[in-house]
Chains A and B, each alone.
Chain A
Amino acid sequence: MASEMTGILRLYRRQDAVFRAVTFLSAAIVVVVLAGMIVFLVHGALPALAAMGPSFFWTSDWDTVEDVYGALAPITGTLITATIAMVIGIPVSFGIAMFLTEICPVFLRRPIGTAIELLAGIPSVVFGIWGLFYLTPVLQEYVQPALIDTLGPLPIIGALFQGPPFGIGILDGGIVLAIMVLPYITSITRDVFMTVPPLLRESAYGMGCTTTEVVTKIVIPYCRVGLIGGVMLGLGRALGETMAVTFVIGNTYQISASLLAPGTTISAAIANEFNEAFEEQHLSALIALGLVLFLITFAVLALAKWMLLAIDKREGRR
């Protein structure tokens, strides 16, 4: 009887060990994927980086015939479109989050919140074709001429709004990205706003603060770190977004002071050229672009994650 019991226990222990090992291996796959990605990108990028040297990062000639590759145009394109997306996306997202947490009647909160989240479900290629066929003509006919007329003559910032209104270009890409990151930043901002203890909020209202004052002086300072984390997460998305931008960016390797000019981004360049790249150096240069994108987004996302963890810790969550 006793030996039968220990036999069963031994069997159980063996089964448990197998189960644990299987789950561990599955978790290890996650780590292996990231490691594999790094190895592939670094290995693939080496020929181009070796041939071009550090000038890969600060020259802007991208010539597949001469085999000269400078990544400055796509890198600046990526950074500028993401910046535009943030300049437009952050205030709008914060506005929506404030509406959802402070102003909106309770029975409308869920439906409106869900509607905004549905924007996140729309695939990037659909944003692309909508942007190209609907947003771009509106920008070209109304918005860009108005910008050229009003802001164009101003000193310094006027330089951003020069040239003919092409429609497609850096500004177009930035606006499409802003719409795309909106649901991400909004939903994190709303969740972070919700972490403010009701006691704090009510005390402020009790002192006679207006809603604006409660949000700007109590809510936002209380969850500063979480807000920055949410914004960085949105930024990570904007930096790496591919298809929507490829539709509306214009895909030309040029750096222009004007936001109205066509340009390119890292991801758009890869999406456009990778299938047609047969020369080893050209392929390698595109993979090197991918490596740059990886490094930028990894840094941004890691920082975002770290900041959001800080908020979770304070909340007592894991």
Chain B
Amino acid sequence: MSARVRRRSAVNIIVLSLSVATALMGLAFLALIGWTLVSRGLAAINIDLFTQETPPPGSRGGLANAIVGSAAMTGLAMLIATPVGVLAGTYLAEYGRDSRFGSVARFINDILLSAPSILVGLFVYGFTVLPMQHYSGWAGSIALSLIALPVIVRSTQDMIGLVPVPLREAAAALGAPEWRVMMSIVWRAAGSGMLTGVLLAAARISGETAPLLFTALNNQFWSTDLNAPMANLPVVIYRFALSPYDDWQQLAWGGAFLITFAILVLNILARLVSARSQLKV
């Protein structure tokens, strides 16, 4: 009997240590990547990074055009995806809850949530770049908005589902029309949760590279023309990191640091907003 107990507790100790080891491993990866980014990235950060255009190989330059391009396309994508996503999420949580169309759309949205982003890039290439015969910032924004959309739909849907029914009934009993109940009561109650979703969607798309490769492409020069190919951080990082030039690799690390830092800030903001929300996620 006691031999058996000893064996069981020995197995237990081994498994527990393995479990602790895996957790340490996970944290170690985060620390390693974080440390690499800080040590290589900070070295690349200087005033030129924010004021100069991406240089030809062998000369000095910065990432100003890529930073502006990324910000513009991410911002535009969020402007497209947020209203559509919020309205779609509202439909799926409220009106389409029991309908067949609603459950199909919910299912499809969840699939799109983890669908390969490169396929979104191909698809947007097919209906923007092909007919227009050139790459453009618009195409890039549309591709990014299609990646952000399912994230916003899903979080809106979940947050609206958490709003208590009596709140709606109280508003309706006061004589408010349905749309008013939704916009002034339900959206307001679910507001910070929905904002969390929007911030997470922005974080998700600001690092996306694959959908931009065939849509916005890249642009070595300063350009704010959304009808022309547009520089953006992820594609610049990809191109420059794989180049044989030291200057370019240095800029790639600088860009990687900037983008990860921006995403970290968005994630922290999202968590702060969600912590302040009355409805717990």
Query: Interface of A with B (CB < 8 Å)?
Result: 12-13, 15-16, 18-20, 22-31, 33-34, 36-37, 40-41, 44, 91-96, 98-100, 102-104, 112, 114-116, 118-119, 121-130, 132-134, 179, 182-183, 186, 210-213, 215, 233, 236-237, 239-243, 246-247, 267, 270-271, 274-275, 287, 290, 293-294, 297-298, 301-302, 305, 318
Sample (10) of A-B pairs whose CB atoms are under 8 Å apart? A31-B108, A44-B126, A125-B237, A126-B207, A126-B256, A129-B241, A243-B234, A290-B122, A293-B118, A305-B110
Contact A92 B210 (CB under 8 A): no
Residues of A within 8 A of B16 (CB): 103, 211-212
* A53 → chain B closest CB, angstroms: 23
- In the complex, A186→B210 CA distance in Å? 25
Residues of B within 8 A of A20 (CB): 91, 95, 178
* B272 → chain A closest CB, angstroms: 12
Against A, the Cβ 8 Å flags (1 = close, 0 = not) of B11-36 are: 11001101111110111011011001
> Which residue on chain B has the smallest CB distance to residue A28?
B105
List the 5 closest A-B pairs by CB distance, nearest first: A123-B207, A240-B116, A95-B22, A26-B87, A23-B91
Contact B115 A126 (CB under 8 A): no
User: Interface-forming stretch among B44-52, B57-65, B257-265?
Assistant: B257-265
B220 at the interface (CB under 8 A from A): no
Against A, the Cβ 8 Å flags (1 = close, 0 = not) of B251-280 are: 011001001100110010001000000000
Contact B127 A243 (CB under 8 A): no
Q: Which of B33, B96, B153, B179 contacts A130 (CB 8 A)?
A: B33
Residues of B within 8 A of A98 (CB): 19
> Which residue on chain B has the smallest CB distance to residue A100?
B23
* B235 → chain A closest CB, angstroms: 8
- In the complex, A263→B271 CA distance in Å? 40
Residues of B within 8 A of A93 (CB): 22
* A276 → chain B closest CB, angstroms: 11
- In the complex, A22→B183 CA distance in Å? 13
Besides the known contacts A16-B179, A123-B206, A130-B36, 12 further A-B residue pairs in the complex with CB atoms under 8 A apart: A16-B178, A27-B96, A29-B88, A29-B149, A31-B104, A34-B111, A37-B120, A95-B22, A116-B27, A121-B263, A125-B237, A305-B107
Against A, the Cβ 8 Å flags (1 = close, 0 = not) of B79-107 are: 00001110110111011110001101101
- In the complex, A298→B112 CA distance in Å? 9
Contact A99 B20 (CB under 8 A): yes
- In the complex, A301→B119 CA distance in Å? 15
Contact B241 A121 (CB under 8 A): no
Contact B260 A126 (CB under 8 A): yes
B68 at the interface (CB under 8 A from A): no
Chain B interface category by residue count: 35 or more
Contact B111 A123 (CB under 8 A): no
* B207 → chain A closest CB, angstroms: 2
Query: Interface of B with A (CB < 8 Å)?
Result: 8-9, 11-12, 15-16, 18-23, 25-27, 29-30, 32-33, 36-37, 83-85, 87-88, 90-92, 94-97, 101-102, 104-105, 107-112, 114-120, 122-123, 125-127, 146, 149-150, 153, 161, 177-179, 182, 203, 206-210, 213-214, 217, 234, 237-238, 241-242, 252-253, 256, 259-260, 263-264, 267, 271
Residues of B within 8 A of A242 (CB): 116-118, 209-210
Contact B149 A30 (CB under 8 A): yes
Residues of B within 8 A of A126 (CB): 33, 37, 207, 237, 256, 259-260
- Contacts A33-B149, A103-B16; is A19 near B116 (CB within 8 Å)? no
Residues of A within 8 A of B110 (CB): 301, 305
Residues of B within 8 A of A270 (CB): 118, 122
- In the complex, A241→B114 CA distance in Å? 10
Contact A179 B29 (CB under 8 A): yes
> Which residue on chain B has the smallest CB distance to residue A23?
B91
- In the complex, A24→B91 CA distance in Å? 6
The count of A-to-B residue pairs whose CB atoms sit within 8 angstroms is 257
- In the complex, A82→B246 CA distance in Å? 32
Q: Which of A22, A100, A115 contacts B87 (CB 8 A)?
A: A22
Contact A118 B12 (CB under 8 A): no
- In the complex, A121→B22 CA distance in Å? 20
Contact A30 B150 (CB under 8 A): yes
- In the complex, A211→B213 CA distance in Å? 48
Residues of B within 8 A of A36 (CB): 123, 127
- In the complex, A298→B84 CA distance in Å? 24
Contact B237 A41 (CB under 8 A): no
> Which residue on chain A has the smallest CB distance to residue B84?
A26
Q: Which of B84, B238, B260 contacts A122 (CB 8 A)?
A: B260
- Contacts A30-B150, A40-B127, A305-B110; is A125 near B238 (CB within 8 Å)? yes
* A89 → chain B closest CB, angstroms: 11
- In the complex, A215→B15 CA distance in Å? 10
